[in-house]
Amino acid sequence: EAQVTQNPRYLITVTGKKLTVTCSQNMNHEYMSWYRQDPGLGLRQIYYSMNVEVTDKGDVPEGYKVSRKEKRNFPLILESPSPNQTSLYFCASSSDRNTGELFFGEGSRLTVL
Amino acid sequence: GNSVTQMEGPVTLSEEAFLTINCTYTATGYPSLFWYVQYPGEGLQLLLKATKADDKGSNKGFEATYRKETTSFHLEKGSVQVSDSAVYFCALSSRGGGNKLTFGTGTQLKVEL
């Protein structure tokens, strides 16, 4: 089954404790990205990757890092989480760089105390 | 910059009622337009898209027409079902902007028996 898998689905953590949200897709997609969803703001792009070892900032990259060492994986790293990073995070992938047709994971709800 | 404005929700309808969810956009050039749907506890799924003026996207009984003169992409369905209850997001991607989507804030639809 074609899917984008995120882990963990739910996490409560404390300010400053480094964490990683993993994302893996089994569709051999070149393009992957991370979004955060906040009430009243819709989804905003954090980072994206066109291919292995190619990453770039989206609209709200502050406080986040990513890496793309393998085609299937695109982890999101919060080096020192803060309460304003409490959000619902979605990973997405696409077979094409320009269609806007994204496959989304089920989301990871992160709470930073 | 690009922006998408959707009608506020929640929208509550009886089964078999007609649905319209309004969406207007601001963008330079000729963007592609999308509707994504998010069912409870799940990630977003592409519902339909249109890539140029006067195009009509359709899927699962839903339709939306790309209206350049009114910068709109309203979502319609002739007869909604309880299973259509979800949050609907209007989005755009700029031509040449890759897969970066600008999302509206989402409209929650509740369909009751």
Q: How far is B32 from chain A (nearest CA, A)?
A: 8
What is the C-alpha to C-alpha distance for residues A96 and A30, in angstroms, rounded to an integer?
A: 7
- Residue A12 contacts by C-beta under 8 Å, 6 or more apart in sequence? A111, A113
pLDDT: which is higher, A99 or B66: B66
Residue B20, pLDDT score? 97
Are the Cβ atoms of A43 and B89 closer than 8 angstroms? yes
- Residue A80 contacts by C-beta under 8 Å, 6 or more apart in sequence? A15, A16, A18, A63
Mean pLDDT rounded to a whole number for chain B: 93
Q: Of A26-35, A81-90, B56-65, B90-99, which gets the smallest average pLDDT?
A: B90-99
Q: How far is A99 from chain B (nearest CA, A)?
A: 6
Taking CA–CA distances from B104, the nearest residue in chain A reads: A42
Determine the residue type at B13.
L
Q: Which residues of chain A have pLDDT under 50?
A: none
Residue B86, pLDDT score? 97
Residue A74, pLDDT score? 98
Q: Which residues pair with A11 in a beta bridge?
A: A110
Are the Cβ atoms of A97 and B41 closer than 8 angstroms? no
Are the Cβ atoms of A101 and B46 closer than 8 angstroms? yes
Q: How far is A27 from chain B (nearest CA, A)?
A: 16
Q: Label residue B100 by pLDDT band (50, 70, 90).
A: confident
Are the Cβ atoms of B42 and A106 closer than 8 angstroms? yes
